[in-house]
Amino acid sequence: MRYTKTLIASCLVAGSSLAMAEIEWLDTQSNDLRADRLTTDTGAIPASMHQESAAINFAWNAEQASTARRPGVGPTETGTTPMVESQQYWMDVTGTELARGVELPLTAPGAVVRISALDNDSGLELDPDKLVLEFNGRPVSAEFGPGHVSTGVELRREGMPVPEATLAFRLTDRIGAGTLTVSHEGVRGSLPLVINVHEPESAWTATLALERHNYLAGQPLDFEFELGDGRRSIEAHSIQAVLASPDASETWPIESTRGNGLTMAAAPLADIDRPAPGLYEAHVYVEGEYRGQTIRRDLTLAFNVAPAIAQFSGEVERGRSDGLAVVLGIDSAVSGRYQVNADVMGTNARGELELLGFVQSANVLEAGSGQIELALDSDMVRASGLQAPFEVRNLQLLDQGRMYLLEDRQQALRIMR
Protein backbone atom coordinates (compact mmCIF):
# COMPACT_ATOMS: atom_id res chain seq x y z
CA MET A 1 0.00 0.00 0.00
CA ARG A 2 2.78 2.35 1.01
CA TYR A 3 4.59 1.36 -2.20
CA THR A 4 1.51 2.25 -4.27
CA LYS A 5 1.13 5.65 -2.55
CA THR A 6 4.80 6.39 -3.17
CA LEU A 7 4.45 5.41 -6.81
CA ILE A 8 1.38 7.65 -7.27
CA ALA A 9 3.12 10.53 -5.54
CA SER A 10 6.19 10.06 -7.72
CA CYS A 11 4.06 10.04 -10.86
CA LEU A 12 2.29 13.23 -9.79
CA VAL A 13 5.57 14.97 -9.09
CA ALA A 14 6.99 13.78 -12.39
CA GLY A 15 3.86 14.88 -14.27
CA SER A 16 3.91 18.23 -12.56
CA SER A 17 7.59 18.67 -13.36
CA LEU A 18 6.92 17.88 -16.99
CA ALA A 19 4.14 20.44 -17.16
CA MET A 20 6.31 23.02 -15.44
CA ALA A 21 9.24 22.17 -17.63
CA GLU A 22 7.26 22.89 -20.79
CA ILE A 23 8.40 26.50 -20.36
CA GLU A 24 11.32 27.29 -18.09
CA TRP A 25 13.22 30.43 -17.17
CA LEU A 26 16.90 30.39 -18.05
CA ASP A 27 19.60 31.58 -15.69
CA THR A 28 20.15 35.29 -15.41
CA GLN A 29 23.37 36.71 -16.87
CA SER A 30 25.76 39.04 -15.09
CA ASN A 31 24.86 42.07 -17.22
CA ASP A 32 21.08 41.58 -17.12
CA LEU A 33 19.07 44.53 -15.81
CA ARG A 34 16.69 43.54 -13.02
CA ALA A 35 15.57 45.11 -9.75
CA ASP A 36 15.97 43.25 -6.45
CA ARG A 37 12.56 44.55 -5.43
CA LEU A 38 10.02 47.11 -6.62
CA THR A 39 9.99 50.61 -5.22
CA THR A 40 7.46 51.41 -2.52
CA ASP A 41 7.89 55.16 -2.96
CA THR A 42 5.21 55.42 -5.64
CA GLY A 43 4.61 59.07 -4.84
CA ALA A 44 7.93 59.83 -6.54
CA ILE A 45 6.87 58.30 -9.86
CA PRO A 46 5.76 60.68 -12.63
CA ALA A 47 2.40 60.11 -14.28
CA SER A 48 2.33 57.94 -17.38
CA MET A 49 2.09 59.96 -20.62
CA HIS A 50 0.79 57.09 -22.77
CA GLN A 51 -2.12 57.79 -25.10
CA GLU A 52 -2.87 54.33 -26.53
CA SER A 53 -5.10 52.02 -24.52
CA ALA A 54 -5.56 48.99 -26.82
CA ALA A 55 -3.60 45.78 -26.34
CA ILE A 56 -1.31 45.38 -29.37
CA ASN A 57 0.88 42.42 -30.35
CA PHE A 58 3.17 42.61 -33.40
CA ALA A 59 5.62 39.99 -34.67
CA TRP A 60 7.90 40.03 -37.66
CA ASN A 61 10.29 37.79 -39.48
CA ALA A 62 14.01 38.39 -39.11
CA GLU A 63 14.64 38.54 -42.88
CA GLN A 64 11.61 40.63 -43.74
CA ALA A 65 13.59 43.87 -44.02
CA SER A 66 16.20 42.62 -46.48
CA THR A 67 14.00 41.00 -49.10
CA ALA A 68 13.58 42.37 -52.63
CA ARG A 69 16.92 44.15 -52.76
CA ARG A 70 20.39 42.86 -52.17
CA PRO A 71 21.55 44.68 -49.06
CA GLY A 72 24.80 46.60 -49.28
CA VAL A 73 27.27 46.92 -46.47
CA GLY A 74 25.69 48.06 -43.23
CA PRO A 75 24.51 49.10 -40.88
CA THR A 76 27.58 50.82 -39.46
CA GLU A 77 29.15 48.80 -36.66
CA THR A 78 28.62 50.47 -33.29
CA GLY A 79 29.48 49.42 -29.78
CA THR A 80 26.89 47.91 -27.46
CA THR A 81 27.82 50.12 -24.51
CA PRO A 82 27.71 53.92 -24.33
CA MET A 83 30.97 55.66 -25.11
CA VAL A 84 31.89 59.16 -26.26
CA GLU A 85 35.11 60.65 -27.54
CA SER A 86 36.02 64.31 -27.55
CA GLN A 87 38.58 66.48 -29.26
CA GLN A 88 36.88 69.71 -28.17
CA TYR A 89 36.07 71.98 -25.26
CA TRP A 90 33.91 74.97 -24.42
CA MET A 91 34.62 78.13 -22.41
CA ASP A 92 32.10 80.61 -21.07
CA VAL A 93 33.32 84.22 -21.26
CA THR A 94 31.89 87.74 -21.00
CA GLY A 95 32.16 90.60 -23.44
CA THR A 96 34.75 92.23 -21.19
CA GLU A 97 36.89 89.09 -21.14
CA LEU A 98 36.67 88.73 -24.93
CA ALA A 99 37.72 92.37 -25.42
CA ARG A 100 40.69 91.79 -23.10
CA GLY A 101 41.67 88.54 -24.84
CA VAL A 102 40.84 84.91 -24.05
CA GLU A 103 43.62 82.32 -23.98
CA LEU A 104 42.81 79.04 -25.71
CA PRO A 105 45.23 76.12 -25.38
CA LEU A 106 45.72 74.21 -28.65
CA THR A 107 47.38 70.85 -29.25
CA ALA A 108 47.41 70.64 -33.07
CA PRO A 109 47.12 72.65 -36.29
CA GLY A 110 43.77 73.13 -38.04
CA ALA A 111 41.70 73.96 -34.97
CA VAL A 112 38.15 75.22 -35.48
CA VAL A 113 37.08 78.04 -33.15
CA ARG A 114 33.48 79.19 -32.76
CA ILE A 115 32.52 82.28 -30.76
CA SER A 116 28.80 82.67 -30.05
CA ALA A 117 26.58 84.77 -27.85
CA LEU A 118 25.07 82.41 -25.28
CA ASP A 119 21.63 83.81 -25.97
CA ASN A 120 19.89 83.42 -29.33
CA ASP A 121 18.60 87.01 -29.44
CA SER A 122 21.51 88.99 -28.03
CA GLY A 123 21.47 91.59 -30.84
CA LEU A 124 25.25 91.26 -31.01
CA GLU A 125 27.13 91.45 -34.32
CA LEU A 126 30.46 89.68 -34.45
CA ASP A 127 32.70 90.93 -37.25
CA PRO A 128 35.66 88.96 -38.71
CA ASP A 129 37.47 92.28 -39.27
CA LYS A 130 37.40 93.01 -35.52
CA LEU A 131 39.00 89.71 -34.54
CA VAL A 132 42.53 89.99 -33.16
CA LEU A 133 44.60 86.82 -32.82
CA GLU A 134 47.91 86.15 -31.10
CA PHE A 135 49.68 82.83 -31.10
CA ASN A 136 52.20 82.18 -28.32
CA GLY A 137 52.31 85.93 -27.66
CA ARG A 138 52.95 87.18 -31.20
CA PRO A 139 50.31 88.66 -33.52
CA VAL A 140 49.08 86.45 -36.31
CA SER A 141 47.01 87.48 -39.27
CA ALA A 142 43.27 87.12 -38.96
CA GLU A 143 42.91 87.02 -42.74
CA PHE A 144 41.48 83.55 -43.01
CA GLY A 145 40.72 83.68 -46.73
CA PRO A 146 37.60 82.45 -48.52
CA GLY A 147 35.95 79.45 -46.93
CA HIS A 148 37.84 79.78 -43.65
CA VAL A 149 35.44 82.00 -41.73
CA SER A 150 31.69 81.78 -41.38
CA THR A 151 28.91 83.66 -39.61
CA GLY A 152 25.94 82.44 -37.60
CA VAL A 153 23.54 83.38 -40.38
CA GLU A 154 25.45 81.16 -42.82
CA LEU A 155 25.71 78.24 -40.42
CA ARG A 156 22.02 78.43 -39.47
CA ARG A 157 21.05 78.28 -43.15
CA GLU A 158 22.83 74.91 -43.32
CA GLY A 159 20.89 73.54 -40.38
CA MET A 160 23.56 74.12 -37.73
CA PRO A 161 21.47 75.84 -35.08
CA VAL A 162 23.96 78.30 -33.63
CA PRO A 163 22.88 81.79 -32.51
CA GLU A 164 23.02 84.42 -35.26
CA ALA A 165 25.69 86.19 -33.24
CA THR A 166 28.32 83.62 -34.15
CA LEU A 167 31.71 83.70 -35.81
CA ALA A 168 33.47 80.44 -36.68
CA PHE A 169 36.90 80.17 -38.21
CA ARG A 170 39.45 77.50 -38.97
CA LEU A 171 43.09 78.14 -38.23
CA THR A 172 45.73 77.48 -40.83
CA ASP A 173 48.25 74.67 -40.53
CA ARG A 174 50.87 77.23 -39.44
CA ILE A 175 49.19 77.56 -36.05
CA GLY A 176 49.76 74.32 -34.16
CA ALA A 177 50.30 73.41 -30.51
CA GLY A 178 50.48 76.43 -28.22
CA THR A 179 48.28 79.18 -26.85
CA LEU A 180 45.94 81.18 -29.06
CA THR A 181 44.69 84.48 -27.67
CA VAL A 182 41.44 85.67 -29.20
CA SER A 183 39.98 89.15 -28.73
CA HIS A 184 37.10 91.07 -30.29
CA GLU A 185 36.24 94.63 -29.31
CA GLY A 186 32.82 96.19 -29.11
CA VAL A 187 30.98 93.45 -27.22
CA ARG A 188 28.83 94.59 -24.30
CA GLY A 189 30.76 94.00 -21.09
CA SER A 190 28.42 91.67 -19.28
CA LEU A 191 27.14 89.82 -22.35
CA PRO A 192 27.62 86.05 -21.90
CA LEU A 193 29.40 84.28 -24.74
CA VAL A 194 30.67 80.79 -25.34
CA ILE A 195 33.79 79.69 -27.20
CA ASN A 196 33.93 76.19 -28.67
CA VAL A 197 37.36 74.88 -29.67
CA HIS A 198 37.34 71.76 -31.85
CA GLU A 199 40.65 70.13 -32.76
CA PRO A 200 39.89 67.57 -35.48
CA GLU A 201 43.59 67.06 -36.28
CA SER A 202 44.66 66.51 -32.67
CA ALA A 203 45.78 63.12 -31.43
CA TRP A 204 44.69 64.05 -27.92
CA THR A 205 41.30 62.51 -27.30
CA ALA A 206 39.29 62.05 -24.12
CA THR A 207 36.91 59.10 -23.82
CA LEU A 208 34.11 58.41 -21.36
CA ALA A 209 32.18 55.15 -21.14
CA LEU A 210 29.62 53.32 -19.04
CA GLU A 211 28.67 49.65 -18.84
CA ARG A 212 25.09 50.09 -20.00
CA HIS A 213 22.63 52.55 -21.52
CA ASN A 214 20.00 52.08 -18.79
CA TYR A 215 20.22 51.95 -14.99
CA LEU A 216 17.77 51.51 -12.18
CA ALA A 217 17.77 54.13 -9.45
CA GLY A 218 20.22 53.25 -6.71
CA GLN A 219 22.55 51.22 -8.87
CA PRO A 220 26.20 52.34 -8.86
CA LEU A 221 27.59 54.27 -11.83
CA ASP A 222 31.20 53.44 -12.66
CA PHE A 223 32.53 55.47 -15.56
CA GLU A 224 35.62 54.59 -17.55
CA PHE A 225 37.60 57.69 -18.44
CA GLU A 226 40.80 58.15 -20.41
CA LEU A 227 42.85 61.03 -21.78
CA GLY A 228 45.46 59.99 -24.32
CA ASP A 229 47.03 60.49 -27.71
CA GLY A 230 46.88 56.92 -28.96
CA ARG A 231 50.38 56.13 -27.73
CA ARG A 232 50.06 57.08 -24.09
CA SER A 233 47.42 57.86 -21.50
CA ILE A 234 48.03 60.64 -19.02
CA GLU A 235 46.49 61.38 -15.67
CA ALA A 236 44.44 64.56 -15.79
CA HIS A 237 45.45 67.18 -13.22
CA SER A 238 41.91 68.53 -13.10
CA ILE A 239 38.66 66.64 -13.56
CA GLN A 240 35.25 68.12 -12.84
CA ALA A 241 32.25 65.87 -13.33
CA VAL A 242 28.53 66.16 -12.65
CA LEU A 243 25.38 64.30 -13.54
CA ALA A 244 22.52 66.50 -14.83
CA SER A 245 18.85 65.58 -14.72
CA PRO A 246 16.84 65.46 -18.00
CA ASP A 247 15.45 68.96 -17.42
CA ALA A 248 18.88 70.27 -16.34
CA SER A 249 17.42 71.69 -13.14
CA GLU A 250 19.29 69.29 -10.85
CA THR A 251 22.89 68.17 -10.75
CA TRP A 252 24.75 65.67 -8.62
CA PRO A 253 28.54 65.49 -8.24
CA ILE A 254 30.40 62.55 -9.75
CA GLU A 255 33.33 61.56 -7.59
CA SER A 256 36.77 61.52 -9.11
CA THR A 257 39.07 58.79 -7.82
CA ARG A 258 42.76 57.99 -8.39
CA GLY A 259 43.79 56.96 -11.89
CA ASN A 260 41.13 58.93 -13.77
CA GLY A 261 38.30 56.98 -12.14
CA LEU A 262 34.82 58.49 -11.97
CA THR A 263 32.13 56.97 -9.85
CA MET A 264 28.76 57.56 -8.27
CA ALA A 265 27.58 55.23 -5.51
CA ALA A 266 23.90 55.31 -6.43
CA ALA A 267 22.15 56.57 -9.57
CA PRO A 268 19.74 59.33 -8.44
CA LEU A 269 16.25 60.10 -9.66
CA ALA A 270 15.11 63.53 -10.82
CA ASP A 271 12.50 65.42 -8.86
CA ILE A 272 8.96 64.31 -9.76
CA ASP A 273 7.82 67.95 -9.74
CA ARG A 274 9.78 68.55 -12.91
CA PRO A 275 8.92 65.62 -15.18
CA ALA A 276 10.75 65.97 -18.48
CA PRO A 277 11.37 63.61 -21.34
CA GLY A 278 14.97 63.14 -22.26
CA LEU A 279 18.06 61.65 -20.75
CA TYR A 280 20.43 62.10 -17.87
CA GLU A 281 23.80 63.48 -18.91
CA ALA A 282 27.22 63.03 -17.35
CA HIS A 283 29.34 66.13 -18.01
CA VAL A 284 33.09 65.84 -17.60
CA TYR A 285 35.54 68.68 -18.02
CA VAL A 286 39.17 67.65 -17.95
CA GLU A 287 42.51 69.36 -18.14
CA GLY A 288 45.85 67.62 -18.45
CA GLU A 289 49.39 68.55 -19.36
CA TYR A 290 52.01 66.86 -21.49
CA ARG A 291 55.50 68.34 -21.94
CA GLY A 292 54.26 71.74 -20.85
CA GLN A 293 51.30 71.77 -23.25
CA THR A 294 47.84 72.11 -21.74
CA ILE A 295 45.15 69.74 -23.05
CA ARG A 296 41.50 70.58 -22.41
CA ARG A 297 38.54 68.38 -23.26
CA ASP A 298 34.80 68.31 -22.47
CA LEU A 299 32.65 65.19 -22.63
CA THR A 300 28.92 64.56 -22.43
CA LEU A 301 27.49 61.05 -22.08
CA ALA A 302 23.74 60.39 -22.15
CA PHE A 303 21.95 57.48 -20.48
CA ASN A 304 18.74 56.85 -18.58
CA VAL A 305 17.80 56.09 -14.99
CA ALA A 306 14.49 54.47 -14.09
CA PRO A 307 12.80 53.75 -10.78
CA ALA A 308 12.08 50.05 -10.23
CA ILE A 309 8.35 50.21 -10.89
CA ALA A 310 7.76 46.88 -12.63
CA GLN A 311 9.38 43.53 -13.31
CA PHE A 312 8.60 40.08 -14.63
CA SER A 313 6.98 38.13 -11.80
CA GLY A 314 8.43 34.80 -12.86
CA GLU A 315 5.04 33.37 -13.76
CA VAL A 316 4.78 32.09 -17.31
CA GLU A 317 2.30 29.90 -19.16
CA ARG A 318 1.38 28.94 -22.70
CA GLY A 319 -0.71 31.57 -24.44
CA ARG A 320 -4.17 31.12 -25.79
CA SER A 321 -3.33 32.32 -29.31
CA ASP A 322 -2.63 29.92 -32.18
CA GLY A 323 0.99 29.46 -33.04
CA LEU A 324 3.66 30.12 -30.48
CA ALA A 325 2.48 32.19 -27.54
CA VAL A 326 3.49 32.74 -23.93
CA VAL A 327 1.81 34.76 -21.21
CA LEU A 328 4.21 36.56 -18.89
CA GLY A 329 3.28 37.68 -15.40
CA ILE A 330 4.27 41.26 -14.54
CA ASP A 331 4.32 42.88 -11.11
CA SER A 332 4.01 46.65 -11.16
CA ALA A 333 4.04 49.27 -8.43
CA VAL A 334 2.09 51.81 -10.50
CA SER A 335 -0.30 51.63 -13.42
CA GLY A 336 1.02 52.32 -16.89
CA ARG A 337 1.36 51.06 -20.43
CA TYR A 338 3.99 48.33 -20.39
CA GLN A 339 5.77 46.89 -23.41
CA VAL A 340 7.54 43.55 -23.78
CA ASN A 341 10.13 42.92 -26.54
CA ALA A 342 11.65 39.55 -27.37
CA ASP A 343 13.77 37.70 -29.91
CA VAL A 344 12.44 34.19 -30.59
CA MET A 345 14.74 31.36 -31.61
CA GLY A 346 13.71 27.95 -32.96
CA THR A 347 15.51 24.68 -33.62
CA ASN A 348 16.51 23.83 -37.19
CA ALA A 349 16.92 20.42 -38.82
CA ARG A 350 20.51 20.22 -37.55
CA GLY A 351 19.32 20.71 -33.99
CA GLU A 352 20.77 24.22 -33.77
CA LEU A 353 18.98 27.31 -32.52
CA GLU A 354 18.23 29.84 -35.24
CA LEU A 355 16.52 33.24 -35.15
CA LEU A 356 12.83 32.90 -35.99
CA GLY A 357 11.66 36.46 -35.51
CA PHE A 358 10.92 39.36 -33.21
CA VAL A 359 7.80 40.06 -31.22
CA GLN A 360 6.57 43.07 -29.30
CA SER A 361 3.45 43.36 -27.18
CA ALA A 362 2.00 46.14 -25.02
CA ASN A 363 -0.96 46.69 -22.79
CA VAL A 364 -2.17 49.00 -20.04
CA LEU A 365 -1.77 47.37 -16.62
CA GLU A 366 -3.04 48.50 -13.25
CA ALA A 367 -0.73 48.41 -10.23
CA GLY A 368 -0.35 44.89 -8.86
CA SER A 369 -0.17 41.66 -10.82
CA GLY A 370 -0.86 41.70 -14.54
CA GLN A 371 -0.07 39.75 -17.69
CA ILE A 372 1.15 40.45 -21.22
CA GLU A 373 0.98 37.83 -23.96
CA LEU A 374 3.66 37.51 -26.63
CA ALA A 375 2.41 35.70 -29.73
CA LEU A 376 3.78 34.59 -33.11
CA ASP A 377 1.07 33.28 -35.40
CA SER A 378 1.16 29.71 -36.67
CA ASP A 379 1.84 30.75 -40.30
CA MET A 380 4.98 32.58 -39.28
CA VAL A 381 6.24 29.65 -37.21
CA ARG A 382 5.39 27.14 -39.96
CA ALA A 383 7.05 29.26 -42.67
CA SER A 384 10.26 29.40 -40.65
CA GLY A 385 10.60 25.61 -40.73
CA LEU A 386 11.85 25.79 -37.15
CA GLN A 387 10.57 23.61 -34.33
CA ALA A 388 10.73 23.18 -30.56
CA PRO A 389 12.61 23.63 -28.42
CA PHE A 390 12.22 27.40 -28.83
CA GLU A 391 14.07 30.05 -26.85
CA VAL A 392 13.15 33.61 -25.92
CA ARG A 393 16.16 35.93 -25.72
CA ASN A 394 16.72 39.62 -25.13
CA LEU A 395 13.48 39.81 -23.20
CA GLN A 396 12.81 43.41 -22.23
CA LEU A 397 10.16 45.12 -20.13
CA LEU A 398 9.63 48.80 -20.93
CA ASP A 399 7.29 51.53 -19.76
CA GLN A 400 5.94 53.38 -22.81
CA GLY A 401 4.37 56.26 -20.90
CA ARG A 402 7.52 57.17 -18.95
CA MET A 403 10.11 55.81 -21.40
CA TYR A 404 11.91 53.53 -18.94
CA LEU A 405 13.68 50.25 -19.57
CA LEU A 406 12.79 48.24 -16.45
CA GLU A 407 14.14 44.75 -17.07
CA ASP A 408 16.45 43.26 -19.69
CA ARG A 409 17.35 39.56 -19.78
CA GLN A 410 19.72 38.25 -22.43
CA GLN A 411 18.53 34.66 -22.03
CA ALA A 412 14.99 34.32 -20.78
CA LEU A 413 12.83 31.28 -21.60
CA ARG A 414 13.08 27.79 -23.08
CA ILE A 415 9.88 26.42 -24.56
CA MET A 416 10.23 22.67 -24.87
CA ARG A 417 7.20 21.90 -27.05
Minimum CB separation from another protein for residue 19, in Å? 30
Pairwise CA distance, residues 13 & 84, whole Å: 54
Can residue 82 be called a binding residue for another protein (CB under 8 A)?
yes
Q: Which range touches another protein (CB under 8 A), out of 7-15, 88-96, 99-107, 123-131?
A: 88-96
Which of the residues 262 through 321 are near another protein (CB under 8 A)? 276-279, 281, 283, 285, 298, 300-304
Of 95-103, 188-196, 253-261, 263-271, the segment contacting another protein by CB under 8 A is 188-196
Binding to another protein in span 152-171, by CB under 8 A:
154-155, 157-163, 168, 170
Cβ 7 to another protein shortest distance, Å: 48
Q: Using the minimum distance from each CB to another protein, give the nearer residue, 22 or 224.
A: 224
Minimum distance of another protein from residue 239's CB (angstroms) = 11
Which residue among 95, 102, 104, 116 contacts another protein (CB under 8 A)? 116
- The answer to whether 194 contacts another protein (rule: CB under 8 A) is yes
State the binding string over 11-30 for another protein (x if CB under 8 A, else -): --------------------
Nearest CA among 4, 21, 10 for reference residue 417: 21
The nearest distance, CB 10 to another protein, in angstroms, is: 44
* Site for another protein contains 393 (CB under 8 A): no
DSSP class of residue 65?
A: G
Beta partners for residue 347, in sequence order: 353, 387
Nearer to another protein, 4 or 53 (CB): 53
CB of 356 to another protein, least distance (A): 12
Site for another protein in 209-238 (CB under 8 A): 213-214
Contacts of another protein in 40-69 (CB under 8 A): 51-52, 54, 56-58, 60, 62-69
Stretch that binds another protein, among 9-17, 79-87, 132-140, 263-271 (CB under 8 A): 79-87
Which residues inside 310-369 make contact with another protein, applying CB under 8 A? 339, 341, 343, 358, 360-362
Question: Which lies closer to another protein via its Cβ, residue 302 or residue 353?
Answer: 302
> Which stretch, 4-12, 99-107, 254-262, 395-403, contacts another protein (CB under 8 A)?
395-403
Beta carbon of residue 306, minimum distance to another protein (angstroms, whole number): 11
